Amino acid sequence: MTKPGRRSSGGVGGRALWLAGALLLVEWHLPRLAAAQAPVEEARSKVEAAFLRNFARYVSWPPQAFEGDRSPWTVCVLGEDPFGDSLPEVLRGRVEQGRPFEIRRAEALEALPACHILFVAIANPAQRRSVLRRVKDMPVLTVGNASDFLAEGGVIRLQPGERMEMSVNLDQARSASLGIPTKLLEVSRDVVENGVLRRLR
């Protein structure tokens, strides 16, 4: 994948305000609704899948990250898949910004096509860091759960608990030419910017 030009990560006005509300609804309400109807792990995977779908709606990618105006979002899961049927269920029939979703899973990065969203489900820290280094300058939104995910070069860490929280490495997002709306940062727990980790919530 060719390296895109850098892109601003500023806010988007009224649309961003709606974004903050939508993400808070996912964060606060969906886990409780799902937990009442399904085992904890299934509820968690559905919430994480919903976050991935929303990232496609709100994060901006450079045009050259797509083959065409209607080419699909490629959502990849690398490593031991934590989603099961939840990711296909959440993405099935959905369209964001005029693009449908495709899901790809693999144990090795080489077996994956070019990804727009890459969920890194690798437990081994050295292997995880190697993957993140290899996609560092590509327009790939990397997402994971590991406690050191942002320090290792990931873009977004999802932190499950009583509610799902997220933290953002804005420096890495910029390196990957991804635009992160201001309101997305405002509903994040931690943000890394200019090498400094700031606790926001």
Q: What is the mean pLDDT of each run of 10 residues along the chain (201 residues)?
A: 37 44 45 50 87 96 95 97 95 96 97 97 97 97 97 96 91 97 92 92 74
Residues in the chain: 201
Report residue 191 as tokens. 């943000």
Q: State residue 28's pLDDT score.
A: 38
Phi, psi dihedrals of residue 106, rounded to the nearest 5°: -160, 160
Distance CA 35, CA 43 (A): 6
Report residue 129 as tokens. 């860091």
Distance CA 93, CA 122 (A): 28
Phi, psi dihedrals of residue 12, rounded to the nearest 5°: -130, 35
Other C-beta atoms closer than 10 Å to the C-beta of 150 total 23
Distance CA 33, CA 35 (A): 6
**Cα pseudo-dihedral 9, 13, 17, 22, rounded to 10:** -60
Q: State residue 44's pLDDT score.
A: 86
**Closest CA relative to residue 84, chosen from 42, 33, 120:** 42
Phi, psi dihedrals of residue 133, rounded to the nearest 5°: -65, -40
Report residue 86 as tokens. 């939840």
Q: State residue 23's pLDDT score.
A: 52
Residue type, 197: L
What are the structural domains of the chain?
Answer: 14-193 (3.40.50.2300)
